[in-house]
Amino acid sequence: MKQVQDEIRTKLGDNQERVTEDDLDQLHCLKLVVKRDIQITPNHSTLVSRFVNSTIADKGLELQLLPIGSGKRICPETRIATVELGLLNLLYFFDWELPQGKRVKDIDLEETGIITLSKRTALEPVPVLHH
């Protein structure tokens, strides 16, 4: 997190009132973090039972098999810019701390669920306004 915040605050300066999608082009490390997160935690909810009992041929020209869809079947890659911009805002305007009395080794990163995964225990980070 510190490395990404350093990149963001160095490239964008420390006095912006808002950050925009245009700012994302210069933030290589932030993009790598988002891509790695998508790789580690894929969107399981769209992968399970999607084509059960379907008559769609997997080698045809069916519109349901296009990599970019819409609605609940939209390709996760199309949402990356939205995730990047949200994360950029959180990391630019806030510093993040653990709740009082918690240490990094106390954080439980185990996940629970079958179709939709979530953290077994909430992370509860504490935002501290940076400016």
- Domain ranges in the chain are 2-97
Question: pLDDT tens track of the chain, all 131 residues?
Answer: 999 999 999 999 988 899 988 899 899 999 888 888 777 766 555 554 755 566 655 444 555 555 555 566 666 555 677 888 999 999 999 999 999 999 999 989 888 887 777 888 888 999 999 97
Integer Cα distance of 88 and 122 in angstroms: 21
Integer Cα distance of 126 and 104 in angstroms: 13
pLDDT at 69: 55
Structure pTM? 0.69
pLDDT at 43: 57
pLDDT at 56: 55
For 47-109, list the strands marked E by DSSP: 94-97
For residue 80, report the phi and psi dihedrals to the nearest 5 degrees. Answer: -60, -45
**Type of residue numbered 83:** V
- Token readout for 35 is 């891509």
